[in-house]
Amino acid sequence: MKNLKYLLSISLIISSFSFGAEDEEIRTMEKDGVLYNINNSSLHITPADNAISKASNDMDGASKLAVKEESKDENSSSEDSCSCPITLSFGTVTALGDEGDAYDPGTSLSINVPTPWAFDLFGKNWKVSGELNLSNLSNINNGNDVNINAGIAHFDPSFDLPINIDFGLGVADIDGPGGISGTATLDVSYPIPFNAANLSLDFRYQKFVDIIGDDPYLDFGLLDTYGFSLSFTK
């Protein structure tokens, strides 16, 4: 009987320690969104979810970085796909004045590329683009044809009109009269309402100026032309 009492006493002591340990394990508190464990004997608190919180933060950071990189790639791809629309033009060119009696109309081919440059003048924002133009005039009297190669800088003031007007200045090489010359252009374009392609009808007046002559130094009567063309922008 005495041994039974001892066994019961030892069992009660072990049970109390066990329940105490269980109570100590489950005592927690939460502060500012962080879970802490409480030591029953010392009442010290220690963060219970440091590792979990840190891993969660790392995963959030990696997720945000991935989203940011994906957004950056999409923006870069979008910019690359539409940053440089090229305009191709094909049409006719006709000489004016006395030269018009000596040459038949010829053909004109040009490539126009926009640039990122622009400037403000007269209350307008002038956009700058560059053109390479190749044209020719056929000699009526079985003489030499005139081949014209020109590089032209265009300045578009973006008037609020149903037509587009721009001005150009450049340098031309006339294979025939004049040689190296200056050139100026006035272009008027009308967009064609055609959904399948970006097309426009263009009219151009172009003046060539002799800049290497001796007397006069600038000869504005070297050559004048006009022409019509169809432009396609891609």
What CATH number labels 84-233? Answer: 2.40.160.20
- Whether 124 has a pLDDT exceeding 60, the answer reads yes
The residue ranges of every structural domain in the chain are 23-80, 84-233
Question: Among 32-41, 60-69, 111-120, 126-135, which stretch is predicted with the lowest mean pLDDT?
Answer: 60-69
Q: Torsion over CA of 155, 116, 78 and 201, rounded to 10 degrees?
A: 10
Rounded Cα–Cα distance for residues 233 and 82 (Å): 12
Q: Map tokens 């009492």 to a residue.
A: 5
Q: Which of the four pLDDT bands, split at 50, 70 and 90, describes residue 26?
A: low
Q: Which of the four pLDDT bands, split at 50, 70 and 90, describes residue 94?
A: very high
Residue 130: the pLDDT is 94
Q: Which of the four pLDDT bands, split at 50, 70 and 90, describes residue 33?
A: low
Question: Among 25-39, 88-102, 183-197, 207-221, which stretch is predicted with the lowest mean pLDDT?
Answer: 25-39
Residue 10: the pLDDT is 57
For residue 40, what are its two tokens? 């029953």
- Whether 69 has a pLDDT exceeding 70, the answer reads no
Q: What pairs with residue 106 in β-bridges?
A: 93
- Whether 20 has a pLDDT exceeding 50, the answer reads no
Rounded Cα–Cα distance for residues 88 and 78 (Å): 23
Mean pLDDT value of segment 43-53: 58
pLDDT digits (tens, 9 = 90+) for 167-209: 999 999 988 666 788 999 999 999 998 877 789 999 999 999 8
Instruction: Please name which of 119, 231, 115 lies closest in space to residue 164, comparing C-alpha atoms.
Output: 231
Backbone angles phi, psi at 69, to 5 degrees: -65, -40
Residue 136: the pLDDT is 92
Residue 158: the pLDDT is 81
Using only the alpha carbons of the chain, give its radius of gyration: 41
Instruction: Please name which of 181, 196, 182, 188 lies closest in space to residue 232, comparing C-alpha atoms.
Output: 196
Q: What is the mean pLDDT of the chain?
A: 76
Residue 24: the pLDDT is 47
